[in-house]
Structure 1
Amino acid sequence: MTEHFTPAVRRLIAATLINTLGNGVYVAVGALYLTRAVGLSVAHVGAGLTIAALVGLIVSTPLGVVADRLGPKRAYVGFLLLQAVTMTSLTQVRSFEWYVVVAAVTAVADSGQRGAKGALIAGVAPSDQRVRTRALLRVVTNIGIAVGTAAAGVVLTIDRREVYVAALLANALTYMVAAAVVRFGMPAVAKVPAKSGPSGLTAFRDRRFLVFVGLDGVLSMHPALLQVGVPLWIATRTDAPRWMISVLLVLNSVAVILLQVRISRGTENLSGAARAGRKAGVLLAITCVGLALTDVTSGVVTIGLLIAAALAHVLGEMLQSAGGWGISFELAPPGAQGQYQGAYAMGHQVGDLVAPLLVTTVAVSWGWPGWLLTAGLFLVAGLFVPVVVQEPELVMQPQV
């Protein structure tokens, strides 16, 4: 799968796989560690995550500028090592206040490494391979998290503090190993000094890009459909067996692993990426319509609609990802890939904050009218992506 990629990209793929194996373990055990081993309440964990998400949103673009100024490779390695420190610090948490501090610094490191990684991809991959590289990294991420989550079953079965701590330290180790793979196995990407590069506010002055980020943020609310909306909807509003939740989740993961790279073809240029965004909006709208119909169906018809909705969802998800990658790379001026990748991530971060509330209070609680309203949001966002991205009147030349 990686034979056509440069050695630097293959190194980045290896580092990503190592890191996400540890992330998969933490995804499965993190919340239980905090509640069962540390003794925090579920409300405290939720509040800490919300605060951390807001911190990550605020610092995302400025840290992208840091990646441009320091050089993407140096910044990426630094943020990975900071994540190793915060993961280790999490094993020493004894209070809610300390947890909030660690979670906030973790959010800073996570936002920083996202922007730096995007800029690093832009620096080491040929322009026509950037989106394909992103796609393969997403496949590798899914594989790593799936394997790590499965391995976490041992930790969850033993259910003892010292085993949870060992799992967290193992995740910290994967950050350090990944940092070493990047540090010693990849070429440096030139840094862009402030006096010769774009302004640190360039992305915020680019109206076309900011409107796209907002639209992409709406489209990026799709994970909440599958992870929050569908399980609640199946369990409370349909007669479908609850094991269908697992079937749909597995279907999603398998489809991404098998098809993400192929679906991403043609999104390397601006027009192809914009079309992918439009198709994503249409498919996510179809997903919501399919779920709305299950409010009045039963038996085999409901199961069939759920599977069809899940297929539309995963196709829309993959197209949204590929289109967003292509647009974010193509609209960034030279020397500003870090800050543009950081600003691009803000849309996803806002979507992650808003989506659970939208899905639970509108779609699931209102029933089919709520699903149709949600469908309308996805459809409008998708249809406007090509209009905004390719509309000259919305362009403001970034100031350097």
Structure 2
Amino acid sequence: MNVSPTVKSLLVTAFVNAAGTGAFMSGSVLYFSLHLHIAGDTLAVTLSACALITLITTVPISAFLERFDLKSVIIFLHIFRGVTYSAYLLIDSVPAFMAVTLVATIADRLSNPASQALLASVLPSDRRVEIMAWRYSLQNAGVGLGALAVAVSISLNPTFGYPLIMALNGISFFAAAILMVPVDTTGTPAAMKRRNVFAGEWPNPRYLAFVGLSALFLLSDALLTVAVPLQVSDREDVIAGLVGVAFLANTLIKVVLQPRLSRNIATTGAAARAMVQAGFLLAAGTALIGVSCLFSSWRLGAGMIFGVCVMTLGETRFLAASWWISVELAPVDKQPRFLAVYSLSATAERTVGPLIASFIVIHFGVAGWAAAAMLFILCAAVVPTFRFVDRTLSETSA
């Protein structure tokens, strides 16, 4: 792929950042519980409270960030998060743990819409989704690398391995800040300062409806990460290591096929069609998993793995398509606030998705998987009713 130095910097930054995130995701709970001796209920309450606070604060703070150059904001947030996550190495009390976690969570949530707005501004529109697909692919590879580094270090030397989790994450943010310096934002909206931040356009009902629809599509993540393992754990006739194989297939598809599955999304119409395809793929995947639960042994394993693969194909199509539409529906000078609102779809899914997924499996089994398939079919059917208009084409005709 022939790309500019700016795009190369953004892609490498995403990989480095994701490696630190992978280290944190894979080992942070162990670090908090075994190294800092934080009780499980305290950890759960803290994470839930932080999620609620960030749900309330992300959008207004993102609107405030429109006053500043987005590149500078992102570099600052990288450095700030590097300092914050490194602070976990120094804390020795529950109040300090709660304070650091809250600040780190807010900074994480702010970084996402700011980064998305910057990417929308600096990437060429005809290659925007293709480059974002490579970014998603590199992020998944980075997460896997970070998780592997932590697993190896903890198995070799836990005393060294647990602090390494936070050190790797902190270092990755400092490195990401340095890698962002060469990014050229000259002549783009990302380089212009805003005033009268809270005036002007805010997400309209159509945009909010799209955010809600996206949250329903994103339930696929909870089904893959929560419902599938629960379904397997509830059976005594499964092949050993089935969940691990399914997750490996999920990761490989995201790393290898994300760019190919996103390549033809260059207009809003194409993105809408891709969302419809994603809905049917997700429905087919959940149906396959549900049907496989009627069998045992290798038939169960093969059906589940095949279903997970089909769901992952749908998930990758949806991510690329929804990102394009979320950007196209947002006014250029208000993208941070619009994309902050869009990010609430993922926040909502992370909040209630695991509960819904576990409820489907525990109480309804095969019927629950069938209901999930019907939900994704309905989501696909709803997409054409939005009548998306390609902003770039409408601006050209005007």
TM-score > 0.5 by shorter chain: yes
Task: Look up the equivalent residue of 1:363 and give its one-letter code.
Answer: V
Give runs of aligned pairs for residues 256-275 of structure 1, distance below 5 A.
256-275=254-273
Structure 1 range deviating more: 181-190 or 73-82: 181-190
Give runs of aligned pairs for residues 16-31 of structure 1, distance below 5 A.
16-31=14-29
1:134 aligns with 2:139: no
Residue 71 of structure 1 aligns with which residue? 69
Give runs of aligned pairs for residues 340-379 of structure 1, distance below 5 A.
340-379=338-377
Partner-residue secondary structure (3-state), 2:181: helix
Q: What runs of 5+ residues in structure 2 fail to find an aligned partner?
A: 391-398
Q: 1:225 aligns with which of 223, 243, 257?
A: 223
1:380 aligns with 2:381: no
CA distance in 2, matches of 1:165, 1:21: 16
Give runs of aligned pairs for residues 82-161 of structure 1, distance below 5 A.
82-158=80-156, 160-161=158-159
Residue 398 of structure 1 aligns with which residue? none
Percent identical among aligned pairs is 26
Checking the alignment, whether the CA contact within 8 Å between 1:20 and 1:141 is kept in structure 2 is yes
Q: 1:192 to 1:150 in 2, by over 3 A?
A: same
Checking the alignment, whether the CA contact within 8 Å between 2:63 and 2:336 is kept in structure 1 is yes
Give runs of aligned pairs for residues 283-294 of structure 1, distance below 5 A.
283-294=281-292
Checking the alignment, whether the CA contact within 8 Å between 1:87 and 1:172 is kept in structure 2 is yes
Task: Look up the equivalent residue of 2:97 and give its one-letter code.
Answer: Y
Task: Look up the equivalent residue of 1:149 and give its one-letter code.
Answer: A
Q: What runs of 5+ residues in structure 1 fail to find an aligned partner?
A: 393-400
Checking the alignment, whether the CA contact within 8 Å between 1:203 and 1:209 is kept in structure 2 is no
Q: 1:133 to 1:160 in 2, by over 3 A?
A: same
CA distance in 1, matches of 2:135, 2:378: 29
Partner-residue secondary structure (3-state), 1:237: coil
Q: 1:244 to 1:207 in 2, by over 3 A?
A: same
Structure 1 range deviating more: 100-109 or 56-65: 56-65
Deviations 1:122-147 (CA, angstroms, capped at 9, x unpaired): 12111122222221111010111111
Residue 191 of structure 1 aligns with which residue? 192
Task: Look up the equivalent residue of 1:134 and give its one-letter code.
Answer: M
Task: Look up the equivalent residue of 1:183 and give its one-letter code.
Answer: V
Checking the alignment, whether the CA contact within 8 Å between 1:26 and 1:168 is kept in structure 2 is yes
CA distance in 2, matches of 1:27, 1:241: 27
Structure 1 range deviating more: 207-216 or 18-27: 18-27
The count of residues paired between Structure 1 and Structure 2 equals 387
Deviations 1:312-354 (CA, angstroms, capped at 9, x unpaired): 1111110110111110111111211211221111111101111
CA distance in 2, matches of 1:351, 1:217: 6
CA distance in 2, matches of 1:156, 1:190: 43
CA distance in 1, matches of 2:99, 2:379: 35
Structure 1 range deviating more: 266-275 or 162-171: 162-171
Q: 1:391 to 1:15 in 2, by over 3 A?
A: closer
Q: 2:303 aligns with which of 282, 302, 305?
A: 305
Q: 1:185 to 1:319 in 2, by over 3 A?
A: closer
Deviations 1:21-57 (CA, angstroms, capped at 9, x unpaired): 2222112211100000111122222222222222232
Compute the displacement of 1:200 (Å). Answer: 5.3
CA RMSD of aligned residues (A): 2.1
Compute the TM-score of the two structures, normalised by the length of structure 2: 0.91
CA distance in 2, matches of 1:274, 1:238: 42
1:39 aligns with 2:37: yes
